Chains A and B, each alone.
Chain A
Amino acid sequence: MMSFWVMLDDSINTDELLAGAGAAVLAAFFAELVTYQAATRFRMRIGWLVPAFSLPGQVVRDMVIVYHALWRRVAHGVQPPSAFLELPARFGDDRPEGLTRRTLLVGGTSLAPNTFVLGIDRDRDVMVVHRLVAEEKES
């Protein structure tokens, strides 16, 4: 928090640093308050971030898919084959690790423009997604 303040303010004067420290304390307090009220905690495993390295390539690939669908819609009037799909995804448990894993999974899957996650079904261990261009056969 403090580093964000310094980055925004671009000053290391004492009064600015004190103001930044106060703002950081307030922000941390409210963050803790919200997590306490929501009864949620996050706990990260570094290995979960490894799939993030493939995200830029996925974004580029999905951009091509999405804009190709737009071109077909504008030039030929062909509606994209959108669909809701269920992809296998383990729900896990309600411990902090499980919550963090699901959060990262939802965020990482929804980053690329062709796929958005609606949720992960606890009972059936599937992730419901919507795809602008859904391929005929999904593995």
Chain B
Amino acid sequence: MDILLNETQALLKDSAEKFIERDYSFDVRRLVSSSEEGFSRVIWNKFAELGWIGLSMPEEYGGWGGNLVDLSVLFEEIGRGLIVEPFLSTSVLGGSLINYNGSENQKKSIIPDLINGKLLLAFAFTERHSRYNLADIETTASNTGEGYIINGSKSIVIHGSTADKLIVSARISGESRDEQGISLFIVDANAEGIKRRSYQMVDGLSGAEIILDNVLIPHENIIGEAGLAYPIIEKVIDEACIAICAESVGLMSELVRATVDYLKTREQFGTKIGSFQVLQHRAVDMFNSLELSRALVYRSAETISNVDDTKNRARAASAAKVQVGRSGKLIGQQAIQLHGGMGMTDELSVSHYFKRLTMLGTLFGDTDYHLKRFVMLGEN
């Protein structure tokens, strides 16, 4: 049951599939993920050449001008290939924050280099106590004569240690969890006062804890109007939710495919274990769950691409996160179970898909968080 793609989307999907088949085998992924930077600059440049990094960036800066549906097509393939390169952090998070709220100068100086693979961004927003609340930040930015001085610490910054610039959310006024008073700042990652502690993450990507100690940044590095960044942050994160839901759909389709294949191949008791009805029904449960998720994710992507109101956008994002969170758990856990002992090994790719899928279930909010949010958004 295929989503109806338009011609450019179909071409994008096709070229992504070919790339993964030719240049991004699981062995390559393993090598790249365990390398010093946690991804491959060579491959990143290839993505730049293919125009993928700038997929959702405006054409006037060299991007494709694609919408969230186009992005979902790409992210599904990123999932299918278990790709570790910094798309989410650089393009979907950093790029969108600049694109939606940045000044002409900021866009001109950042977006083209982002698109051609020369500039890497990371979004530093979560803090130790924030959990999933985007407004629960205590990092401060004080306005002085020379610029803004930023103080605080940021957690779980995806691709934080390889970023050239950090987009940092900080409070210029208000109390913890006030939506008012939050601003976004472009911070040079090598600025004085920045300390980055990098680590591998459970799903093979890289992350960082970042401390900002009296970091002075020029006034023109604030993005948009002072104290009014929250709505933009929420919008970008909702779109990022769709991107990672699409990535999850890609991960889940590979897990379903691999599991059905294993069931048809593995023999015990003198027969292929796929001949047992119990296991067939389990595989069907996985398949059905995948289909429901894929359909809802694309519907949510469509909705968000076409409507402008916050409530509908938020509902669409949270609905997708809940559906995918549930699916991800079912499909991930059953893929391991049905692979038996082999599913537990590091050697097979199955467990790596499972780990990435599991972590995406938590990123930008877990199922309970999004259920609660959906409820609080009120009736349709």
A in complex with B: no
